[in-house]
Structure 1
Amino acid sequence: MTRFVRILAVAAASVAVLGAAGAGYWWGQSRTDAQALADPAAQAIERKALYWYDPMVPDQRFEKPGKSPFMDMQLVPKYADGASENGIAIAPGVRQNLGIRTVAATRGRLEVAVRVPGTIGWDLRQERVVSARADSIVERQHIKTPYERVRAGEALVSIVAPAWSTALAESQALGRARSASARTLQSASHERLRALGIPAGTGRGGRMTLTSPIAGVVSEIGIREGQSAGMGALLYRINGTATVWVEAAVPQSGLFGIAAGTPAEVSVDALPGRIFRGEVEALLPQVDVGSRTQRLRIVLNNPQGVLAPGMFAQVALQPSTGDEHPLVPTEALIASDGQMRLILLGEDGAFRPVRVQTGRSSKGMTEVLTGLQGGERVVASGQFLIDSEANLSGALQRLGSDSDASAMAAENAMPPAASMRSGERKPLYWYDPMMPDRHFEQPGKSPYMDMQLVPKYPDEAESPESRP
């Protein structure tokens, strides 16, 4: 019951809107007729109606005026001069009453600011790893806590390598020998020390102290005092803080104009009002399958070390503007069936629909890639009413056709009665326009609304709304 009440509400609203549009258009045509009668020059021009129609059921045409058999309203006349070259003529007074507003399509470059979230991380180019060059035992730790700042050359850990102890003892014994054979073995002893990776300054017993290669933060400690560490085992990981990386995920639709060198501004909640400026270093060559985003990397200077890895950041990118294109208000675009179109006001005062291909959008404006040259008058308000009337006149169906003129001539030349002969056209079924998915085998009154059922003919294009 709730769904049926909601359907009735939507139907009532649709009837009110379409009824108001039809009444406004009929009133405009009536005013035009009155002005023509008052003007002696216009009296010589005979305006003959091609047919009459119900705005609620525009695909049904009638030879004579009267009351609609479907809705409680008068039929609306369709004049031959109401559409010229796929255009719709509307009286100036009616334009003002309907709130139709036009603007000029100007050529320019659209400035688009892409704003995405990001995360601050270590600059891995400044990362250093301190490891054991031989099987050793940790004798003493000088730095015991992670995330402690260290200076370049500061002592980190003292280790003892038993394998080094034997090699050092042999080298020292050969160094004190005076015989010719001992001096011959000294060079071989030094080669052995280099092969074992014994650094300079290693003391007796294979003891040595490892120091920090750079100034930074100890981000990881892999051992503790008294533990044994195998050859190549990580002892300390140290990261520099002079620069940091900011990684952000950009949607595919916002990647246009973003490349290495694109300026970027980064802000963090921990430092309100402070802006860090940098540039895109690289677009990472991988797209996330789930979110359809591509990650990019920004390098920021961090001399004071105030930016810490893990901070949430807001990234504002300034992509290149690209070529000039006609720019129109985004609200002027009409989306239908996966396509975009605009309503243009011609020099003859007629409104015409034009199919366009759009590009980027920013600050209420949209690029038009194809369909406009620039300088055209575009309807920015009230375009949906004109679009509905263009649909009634068949202008939209003839968009992109190579035989527009012949199609209009054939339509205007065909008598309306020819399309309504019951002997030539047999309805497939009858339906309620408010409930198009319900079909009936016989004509009559709708069980849902206070209106007559509408026939559906085989030669009529089936709309998605009327499919069962």
Structure 2
Amino acid sequence: MTWHAKQAARWGASVLAIALVAGGGGYWIGQRGLTTAAGSAQAARKILYWYDPMVPAEHYDNPNSLSSMGMKTVPKYADEAPAVNSAPGVSIDPAARQNLGLRVVAAEIGSLPSSLTVTGTIDFNQRNVAIVQARSGGFVTRAYDRAPGDVVGAGAPIADIQLPEWGGAQGEFLSVKRLGSPELTAAARQRLRLLGMSEGLIAEVERTGRTSGTITITSPIGGVIQTLDARAGVTLAQGQTLAQVTGIGTVWLNAAVPEVQAGAVRIGQSASVTLAAFPGETFAGRVIAILPTAQAESRTLTVRIELANAQGRLRPGMFGNVMLGDGGGQALLVPSEAVIRTGARTLVMLALADGRYRPAEVRTGREGGGKTEIVAGLIPGEQVVASGQFLLDSEASLTGIPARPIGGGK
């Protein structure tokens, strides 16, 4: 190769080397410029701390930390946090709010209808019972055509009884009366009363001058004959029971109320009863007693409801459905669907005035008619989310927004 050829080759190699160096340098410079721009953009956003979105309450001061769940942490930037002076809450874009179908209602004072519906059976009114007894020893001369289960009216005859002691006492009274001594006559008359004779019977003996040791035992009240021991020819001892009659002018309905709902029942509370025997009819009653013993097998309390039964249509043993009255007056109410029950506490999602949403802890009471009573945690007029609140509550949990406590505060 000539000297000129060698020079040309050296010059071409130099040009190629310069081109490679220049190209490589340009790539490096370009890469360095991109890295610098990205770093500047990253540095423009201030990082407050690192956290695990699954455990938002845990904060870390470096990006290499692992949360308590073993997850890698991510940065929380200052521009993602609410302003210092603003109330904590979740902000939702208006378009997203419409897509979520958020519905907001106000907590308001109202009357809570009852949703406590229980079942029960009709029983006799055990406070309206008459016991028919022999006031003196004797025997039954006639038994009227009666049997247990018969419905009788007040004054209906049960049996005719011969009472020898009464006949003797009446004879002595007439003898003393003929003596003309007012004091002795009054004493003899008092003895007849103590033996159990009525004023009418004494007056009849005094008017006719004849003894009557046979009397007719009648039912003092109208009702159902429960027991009947009066049979013709039966010898009776003093105080022996002849019959037991239970009135049916009023009846009891014994309703089984679950013990978890027993707090909603009170004496004097109104009740509406429907019976399978009379479809379409409603019978009004009231709670007269809450029995003190719970049924261990069913975990229920027996609530006694008194019903009027003037026509005798309500028969013991009939099955009925009972709706108990509200018994509570006015209360602060929200839709039941707005209440979030987590197990540990109960929440509602507040709609704040600046367009934010924040959970608030509440204490609930009775429920009925799609409404829930708020005992504590809200005031009338506060806005709560009634639809879509579960998504907002999840977002608030992920971002670490605390629920407003029942006592107020931040």
Confirm or deny a common fold (TM above 0.5).
yes
Match of 1:297 in 2: 305
Match of 1:78 in 2: 76
Distance of aligned partners of 1:153 and 1:282 in 2 relative to their CA distance in 1, 3 Å threshold: closer
Distance of aligned partners of 1:86 and 1:307 in 2 relative to their CA distance in 1, 3 Å threshold: same
CA distance in structure 2 between the partners assigned to 1:236 and 1:381 by the alignment: 66
Distance of aligned partners of 1:268 and 1:50 in 2 relative to their CA distance in 1, 3 Å threshold: same
Q: Which amino acid aligns with 1:160?
A: Q
- Residues 440-459 of structure 1 show CA distances to partners (whole Å, capped at 9, x for unaligned) of xxxxxxxxxxxxxxxxxxxx
Pair 1:159-2:157 in alignment? no
Q: Which amino acid aligns with 2:102?
A: R
**Secondary structure, in 3 states, of the residue corresponding to 1:288?**
strand
Match of 2:226 in 1: 219
Shift of 1:256: 4.4
Structure 2 residues without counterparts, runs of 5 or longer: 1-40
- Residues 147-176 of structure 1 show CA distances to partners (whole Å, capped at 9, x for unaligned) of 21223333210112233343344445556x
- Residues 26-55 of structure 1 show CA distances to partners (whole Å, capped at 9, x for unaligned) of xxxxxxxxxxxxxxxxx9xx6544345444
Q: Determine if contact 1:257/1:322 at 8 Å carries over to the other structure.
A: no
Question: Which residue, 120, 131, 134 being the options, matches 1:132?
Answer: 134
CA distance in structure 2 between the partners assigned to 1:122 and 1:249 by the alignment: 17
Q: Which amino acid aligns with 2:77?
A: Y
Shift of 1:62: 7.5
CA distance in structure 2 between the partners assigned to 1:184 and 1:55 by the alignment: 105
Pair 1:375-2:386 in alignment? no
Q: What aligned pairs does 1:153-192 form with structure 2 within 5 A after superposition?
A: 153-172=155-174, 188-192=187-191
- Residues 274-329 of structure 1 show CA distances to partners (whole Å, capped at 9, x for unaligned) of 21224x263447463754636243232x232111122222222222452342x322
Q: What aligned pairs does 1:60-459 form with structure 2 within 5 A after superposition?
A: 61=60, 63-64=62-63, 77-84=75-82, 85-95=87-97, 99=100, 101-113=102-114, 114-124=116-126, 126-172=128-174, 188-199=187-198, 200=201, 206-250=213-257, 251=259, 253=261, 255-256=263-264, 258-260=266-268, 262-278=269-285, 280=286, 282-284=288-290, 286=292, 288=294, 290=296, 291=299, 293=301, 295-300=303-308, 302-325=309-332, 327-336=333-342, 338-396=344-402, 399=405
Q: Which amino acid aligns with 1:154?
A: A
What is the count of residue pairs matched by the alignment?
A: 351
CA distance in structure 2 between the partners assigned to 1:111 and 1:398 by the alignment: 26
CA distance in structure 2 between the partners assigned to 1:182 and 1:345 by the alignment: 97
**Secondary structure, in 3 states, of the residue corresponding to 1:164?**
helix
CA distance in structure 1 between the partners assigned to 2:371 and 2:388 by the alignment: 17
Match of 1:458 in 2: none
Q: Determine if contact 2:270/2:287 at 8 Å carries over to the other structure.
A: no
Q: Determine if contact 1:115/1:315 at 8 Å carries over to the other structure.
A: yes
Shift of 1:111: 2.5
Q: Which amino acid aligns with 2:169?
A: A
Q: Determine if contact 1:82/1:88 at 8 Å carries over to the other structure.
A: no
Shift of 1:186: 5.2
Q: Which amino acid aligns with 2:194?
A: A
Distance of aligned partners of 1:195 and 1:149 in 2 relative to their CA distance in 1, 3 Å threshold: same
- Residues 397-442 of structure 1 show CA distances to partners (whole Å, capped at 9, x for unaligned) of 78579996xxxxxxxxxxxxxxxxxxxxxxxxxxxxxxxxxxxxxx
Q: Determine if contact 1:65/1:76 at 8 Å carries over to the other structure.
A: no
- Residues 240-298 of structure 1 show CA distances to partners (whole Å, capped at 9, x for unaligned) of 333333343545646548552x44321111111121224x2634474637546362432
Q: Determine if contact 1:391/1:397 at 8 Å carries over to the other structure.
A: no
Distance of aligned partners of 1:106 and 1:129 in 2 relative to their CA distance in 1, 3 Å threshold: same
Runs of 4+ that moved beyond 6 A? 65-71, 181-184, 400-403
Q: Which amino acid aligns with 1:303?
A: A
CA distance in structure 2 between the partners assigned to 1:390 and 1:109 by the alignment: 30
Q: Which amino acid aligns with 1:193?
A: L
Q: Determine if contact 1:102/1:377 at 8 Å carries over to the other structure.
A: no
CA distance in structure 1 between the partners assigned to 2:52 and 2:88 by the alignment: 21
CA distance in structure 1 between the partners assigned to 2:126 and 2:69 by the alignment: 74
Q: Determine if contact 2:47/2:78 at 8 Å carries over to the other structure.
A: yes
Q: Determine if contact 2:357/2:392 at 8 Å carries over to the other structure.
A: yes
CA distance in structure 1 between the partners assigned to 2:409 and 2:189 by the alignment: 94
Q: Which amino acid aligns with 1:127?
A: V
RMSD of aligned alpha carbons: 3.9
Q: Determine if contact 1:257/1:321 at 8 Å carries over to the other structure.
A: no
Shift of 1:227: 2.9
- Residues 376-408 of structure 1 show CA distances to partners (whole Å, capped at 9, x for unaligned) of 33233443343333334433278579996xxxx
CA distance in structure 1 between the partners assigned to 2:409 and 2:220 by the alignment: 78
Q: Determine if contact 2:117/2:324 at 8 Å carries over to the other structure.
A: yes
Shift of 1:64: 4.5
CA distance in structure 2 between the partners assigned to 1:206 and 1:194 by the alignment: 14
Distance of aligned partners of 1:309 and 1:81 in 2 relative to their CA distance in 1, 3 Å threshold: farther
Q: Determine if contact 2:170/2:192 at 8 Å carries over to the other structure.
A: yes
Structure 1 residues without counterparts, runs of 5 or longer: 1-42, 405-468
CA distance in structure 2 between the partners assigned to 1:324 and 1:240 by the alignment: 41
Distance of aligned partners of 1:153 and 1:245 in 2 relative to their CA distance in 1, 3 Å threshold: same
Match of 1:421 in 2: none
**Secondary structure, in 3 states, of the residue corresponding to 2:271?**
strand
Higher relative contact order (CA 8 A, sep 6+): 2
Shift of 1:103: 1.4
- Residues 66-111 of structure 1 show CA distances to partners (whole Å, capped at 9, x for unaligned) of 999989x9965533344433322344455456x3623122413132
